[in-house]
Amino acid sequence: MRSLHKRPTYALLLLLLLSLALSMGTAWFTLQPPWLGVQMVADGDKVRVVRVTPELARQIPEGAVVQRLVSATGESLSILPTDLIEEPDFFDTYPQMADFFSRQSALHDILSSPEVTIFWTDKNGFSGETKITPGQRPLADLPAAFWFQLIASFSGLLIAAWVFLLRRDDWGARMFALTGLMFPAFAVPAAIYSSRELAIPGETFRFLASLNHAGAFMFGCALMALFLTYPRKLIRPRNLLWLPIVFGVWLAADVFRWAPDQDWGSRIPPMLEMSLAIVFAVVQWRKSSAQPLDRAALRWFILSVVTGCGLFVFSIYGPGVLGFIPPLSQGYSFGFFLIMYAGIALGLRHFRLFDLDEWAYRIFLWLSGVIAVIVMDALLLYFGLSQNISLSATLLLCGGLYFPFRQWLWQRIVSKQVPTFDSLLPEISTITFTISSDEQQARWEALLRRIFDPLELKKSPVDKGVGEICEEGLGLLVPGCCKLSAYSLRYAGHGARLFSTRDAAFATSLSHLLEQVMSGRSSYDQGVAQERLRIGRDLHDNIGARLLKLIHHLRGTPNAEMARDAMKDLRTAIAALDVQPVPLLNALADWRAEAGGRCEAASCQLRWQQPEQLPELILSSRTKASLESVMRELITNALKHAIPSYIKVEIVSEASHLRMRVFNDGNIADPLTWKEGYGLRNLRGRMEELGGSLSIMLGAHEVQLSIACSLK
């Protein structure tokens, strides 16, 4: 059988059963004090009856003011509103608390007698007395707040245990598990004494209050230790022992009443612990500046703590400030701790951290609105406005100032992160109409970098057709489109944030949009190619056939050569209409063959020089045709005007750049004296179209014409 260490499910099931057993034991213990069946509440300086059992309905009127209790042996004690408080920390001094516990013991002794007499006064001033035999308190009489505190505390324990069982070696999970243990330690005692009907033994009450304080102190220590160890270890784990040592001594000062008062004994320590936890969280935030995953987890912590504590404070102080909100029992306020537990658990488990940013900003802005309403209403009440007027003015001011500011802040912080498609249309169009596939890919990469600003961008062999979050938000898979590759991006915002599901949806839409635009361009190119093919066929079949007939007709005459040149130009033009690319080596072979034939016919020697190793470049049909026309014009000009004995052609190619030099030793004149006619202007125009240049130089015995261009 597998151990519990290897089977977290079994351990959680065992812990759940143990929690149920402890809950039942707590309920049994809470039911043990004597029970009158009369529910009383404090109403200012009076104690009123709000509910009685059906048997006592005719004996004690609801709303009656309870004066005192008298036991069967004659012991009498007046009832004070402070006897009904939920939490003994209400008192500021230890003597006041000791007097409260003493009164609890006295009241419990009276309730333990065989018969208790309640003296009361009704709303009309009539005084009466009712004799009651204390009995066993039924389970159904326990208030809902009692069960809520048990459910909340043990739920927090189970959440913390779940995280710990999944990540036993993580110090953050270990400290979180300790907070889970401490949650019931201070919530369960509070559930017992806050659910009493009237009184429990004073020593028992004091012991439960001490347990409540001990649990709260150690809960704060565990929370500080959590921020000291997660996501980075700020101190050595063994040094964490100083936390329970220091605050344990402080706890002893509170339990044994060595502290001067309740402020120093039980109120300041938890506040100090929470303040230190916030300080440690800020240190963790600064140290995780280059770790977006850690920062997102910390953001979960901050969001959950601020939300939970904010709601707790609002439930405690909101009714007193706003007036129209009904007060919330302290027992129910413990439920807000579950928000903190859920947030910290999700942060430790890295659950959907990539979607946290938008949620965090929404909740922070919502809480800011709540706080703004409370503060504004409190200020207006302080300056003397009535409750109704202050509330109306508060809503008017917040509606006119805060909500427009909130919307502006939302647009600046959240909506600004992802650009609109309208702003990207020029770049999408540029990618679509880029001829070179390599340049298209480069522009696609540049667009992704501009949108997401990743620290790492590389081609991905996996293309799922949609954008997908990976590595818990550290990575994003961007789908490919048409001939563009899919990409894997990591560390968005230059490492400052995680990718979100909105980024994934935007990447999917962007890829689909680009694919649609490129498909439209592809259809257009296909139509253009078909039209070019038709024109090329018409030129070849009609004009070409007539030129060939003319060549045969002029054979043996001086005009035959002109007809052959026209035929070559026609073939070059037809070749330019072809959409098929041509390797550079094949183009050079064609140009050399043509130049060799023409030089041989003119009794001129051709000296062709090109490297043995040339880069494997591919020329588009248009680039090949343009360069072929330029080369033909250079050879023609040399043969026609210089009448050389030789023509030398040198080919130099580096990477994607091509340079061709044409030399001749014919009748040499200074190029500065040349009159530039249509031929030279045509050559320069063709080179400018290719992004290249034409240069002419005069050497010792040669004229050099050079062309240079990029073949990208």
pLDDT at site 222: 92
Residue 36: pLDDT band (50, 70, 90) is: very high
With 0-12 / 13-18 / 19 or more C-beta atoms within 10 angstroms meaning exposed / middle / buried, residue 427 is: middle
Neighbours of 63 (CB within 10 A): 12
**Residue ranges of the domains in the chain?**
8-19+143-350, 35-137, 352-416, 421-511, 581-710
- Cα dihedral 582, 586, 587, 591 in deg (nearest 10): -160
pLDDT at site 326: 54
CA 373 from centre of chain: 29
Q: Is the pLDDT of residue 536 over 80?
A: no
Q: How far apart are CA 83 and CA 100, in angstroms?
A: 7
Q: How far apart are CA 172 and CA 344, in angstroms?
A: 10
Asked whether 540 and 532 are in contact (CB, 8 A), the reply is: no
| CATH class of residue range 35-137 | mainly beta
- Closest to 359 measured CA to CA, from 408, 306, 282, 285: 306
Transcribe 617-679 into DSSP letters: -EE-HHHHHHHHHHHHHHHHHIIIII--SEEEEEEEEETTEEEEEEEE-SS---GGG----HH
Neighbours of 601 (CB within 10 A): 11
**Per-residue pLDDT tens for 306-337?**
677 656 656 654 554 445 455 566 677 778 87
Q: How far apart are CA 465 and CA 381, in angstroms?
A: 60
Q: Is the pLDDT of residue 1 over 50?
A: no
pLDDT at site 599: 85
pLDDT at site 348: 62
Q: How far apart are CA 366 and CA 398, in angstroms?
A: 12
Q: Would you say the pTM of this structure is higher than 0.95?
A: no
Residue 455: which H helix or E strand, with range? none
Q: How far is CA 548 from CA 81, 552, 625, in A?
A: 121, 6, 21
| CATH class of residue range 8-19+143-350 | mainly alpha
Cβ within 8 Å of residue 379, ≥6 positions away: none
* Percent of the residues in the chain that have a pLDDT greater than 70, as a whole number: 74
Q: How far is CA 244 from CA 89, 218, 251, in A?
A: 22, 7, 10
pLDDT at site 33: 94
Q: How far apart are CA 101 and CA 563, in angstroms?
A: 124
Q: How far is CA 664 from CA 252, 599, 644, in A?
A: 107, 12, 6
pLDDT at site 321: 44
**Per-residue pLDDT tens for 213-223?**
999 899 989 98
Q: Is the pLDDT of residue 95 over 90?
A: yes
pLDDT at site 490: 84
Lowest mean pLDDT among 137-146, 150-159, 485-494: 485-494
With 0-12 / 13-18 / 19 or more C-beta atoms within 10 angstroms meaning exposed / middle / buried, residue 170 is: middle
Mean pLDDT of 114-138: 92
Q: Is the pLDDT of residue 645 over 90?
A: no
Mean pLDDT of 424-441: 76
Residue 418: pLDDT band (50, 70, 90) is: low
| CATH class of residue range 581-710 | alpha beta
Q: How far apart are CA 26 and CA 35, in angstroms?
A: 17
Which contacts qualify for 72-77: CB closer than 8 Å, 24 or more apart?
72/113, 72/114, 72/115, 72/116, 73/113, 75/106, 75/109, 75/110, 75/113, 77/103, 77/106, 77/107, 77/110
Mean pLDDT of 435-448: 81
Q: Do 8-19+143-350 and 35-137 share a fold?
A: no
**Per-residue pLDDT tens for 542-565?**
665 566 666 666 666 766 666 666
With 0-12 / 13-18 / 19 or more C-beta atoms within 10 angstroms meaning exposed / middle / buried, residue 49 is: buried
**Per-residue pLDDT tens for 230-245?**
888 899 999 999 999 9
**Per-residue pLDDT tens for 474-527?**
788 888 887 788 888 888 877 777 777 778 888 888 888 888 877 766 665 666
pLDDT at site 465: 78
